Amino acid sequence: MVVSMEQVKELRAKTGAGILDCKNALVETGGDLEKAVKLLREQGKAKADKKALRTAREGLIFCYIHPPGKLGVMIEMNCETDFVARNEEFQQLCKDIAMHIAAAAPRFVTREEIPADVLEREKEIFANQARNEGKPERVIEKIVEGRIAKFYEESCCLDQPFVKDPDIKVGDLIKEKIAKTGENMVLRRFARFVVGEE
């Protein structure tokens, strides 16, 4: 399979991966751009997972105020070095995530942050809803699992579809940047402020 330089450039622009990686991905996927993007993301994700074990103690406190000034978000985004923290791409990632939080209003960063009592209450509500819908007892557990997965997607920032590209989750967006920079990055915490909200 021969791939053109234009295809390689297009894939590189979409993924930020190296020229050789782009060429190999296109050859492996028979020139299918979308499959090549998916393949590189999967490969990048594997690299990013290894880097996620490294400590990220540098970073930024980033603030985003949505016009006309009635909604604001403050995030702490960490990375491994001050060099990356001052990088324009890292700062753009901080902005994108802060804007996402402004739009999507997550309650938690990760699933692990959800208090056990909150999770149990949600499971109980979902089970009772299924019973009230007349679902048989033997399938209620499966229904609850599905609804809890949806609850994670609605409540946890890293599980939410990214508002600027709903085909990827916020967690995957961060992993792409980890793969690209070679440094671990972590959304540590956030606060979302709305004028007049209790």
> What is the DSSP secondary-structure string of the chain?
----HHHHHHHHHHH---HHHHHHHHHHTTT-HHHHHHHHHHHHHHHHHHHTTS---EEEEEEEEETTTTEEEEEEEEES-HHHHTSHHHHHHHHHHHHHHHHH--SBSSGGGS-HHHHHHHHHHHHHHHHHTT--HHHHHHHHHHHHHHHHHHHBGGGSEETTEEEEEHHHHHHHHHHHHSS-EEEEEEEEEETT--
pTM: 0.69
What pLDDT is recorded for position 121?
Answer: 93
Cite the residue boundaries of each domain of the chain with CATH code 1.10.286.20: 115-155
What pLDDT is recorded for position 45?
Answer: 52
What pLDDT is recorded for position 164?
Answer: 94
Per-residue model confidence as pLDDT tens for the chain (198 residues) = 788 888 888 877 666 676 778 888 889 888 888 888 888 777 765 455 555 555 677 899 999 999 999 999 999 999 988 888 898 999 999 999 999 999 999 999 999 999 999 999 999 999 989 888 888 888 888 999 999 999 999 999 999 999 999 999 999 999 888 888 888 899 999 999 999 887
CATH 1.10.8.10 fits 5-51, yes or no: yes
Cite the residue boundaries of each domain of the chain with CATH code 1.10.8.10: 5-51
Q: Give me the CATH code for the 115-155 domain, please.
A: 1.10.286.20
CATH 3.30.479.20 fits 58-109+156-194, yes or no: yes
Cite the residue boundaries of each domain of the chain with CATH code 3.30.479.20: 58-109+156-194
What pLDDT is recorded for position 51?
Answer: 54
What pLDDT is recorded for position 50?
Answer: 55
